[in-house]
Amino acid sequence: MILLARGTCGIGFIGLCLNALLPEPSLLAIYLLGLWDGFFASLGVTALLAATPALVGRENLMQAGAITMLTVRLGSVISPMIGGLLLATGGVAWNYGLAAAGTFITLLPLLSLPALPPPPQPREHPLKSLLAGFRFLLASPLVGGIALLGGLLTMASAVRVLYPALADNWQMSAAQIGFLYAAIPLGAAIGALTSGKLAHSARPGLLMLLSHAGIVPRHWSVWPDADVDFRRGLSGAVRLAERG
């Protein structure tokens, strides 16, 4: 599943590269190939994360998660900067071409993964499994609060879709836009460097509450309704702090 998803993403990048080389690139093709890459990338990441406990052991799961987060965030920092420089010098096709090459290169270390068959379990309809997951979140305030905080932070990070419009107003170059996209992952990478100590914290819920409260003020300047979602997430964070 992991190899198939990664290889399929590489094919999508090749399609985007070929589309960019056309005299009149197709916007519909960009949307469809973007959907293609997003779908299969999500499958691959989900399968890789599911295999992590079997590869590193559950006792090392938090440390492995911190390392995974750090490498992902560092890639998210470096790739926009390189992409911005390539846009300013080589063009869009070079970006997609290098993305395809990099995706296929990542298949090489994945080839050494051992066989990881799923444990025997009764088969269940995917929709029933999804509903069972939602019921579990509602029945467990701790896990549900974490999921709620993650969802709110993901939506707050969606402000990046406004960067191209902001770049026009601020008259930014393509290279500068790349640095702008790299700013948020850089902060996340710095946070991941310290997350390994959370396993030894007596109050991890309190740390999550403080971190959540610390990042919200920066959104008030660009998101007038941030206080509403902050109050929703705060209730879940308070429960985490009380239990943590």
**Are residues 181 and 80 in contact, defined by beta-carbon separation less than 8 angstroms?**
yes
Spatial distance between the Cα atoms of 222 and 118, rounded to a whole number of angstroms: 45
**Are residues 17 and 100 in contact, defined by beta-carbon separation less than 8 angstroms?**
yes
pLDDT digits (tens, 9 = 90+) for 62-74: 777 777 777 777 7
Question: What tens-digit pLDDT sequence spans the chain (244 residues)?
Answer: 888 888 898 899 999 999 989 988 898 999 999 899 888 888 888 887 777 777 777 777 777 777 777 777 777 777 777 777 777 777 788 888 888 898 899 888 888 877 777 667 677 777 888 888 888 888 887 777 778 877 777 776 667 777 777 777 777 776 777 777 777 777 766 766 666 666 566 666 676 667 666 666 655 555 544 444 444 444 544 444 444 4
**Are residues 103 and 6 in contact, defined by beta-carbon separation less than 8 angstroms?**
yes
pLDDT digits (tens, 9 = 90+) for 7-57: 898 899 999 999 989 988 898 999 999 899 888 888 888 887 777 777 777
User: What predicted TM-score, i.e. pTM, was given to this entire model?
Assistant: 0.60
Buried b (16+ CB within 10 A) or exposed e, 68-88: bbbeebeebbebbbebbbbbe
Helices (H), ranges, 90-199: 92-105, 107-110, 126-139, 141-157, 163-170, 174-194
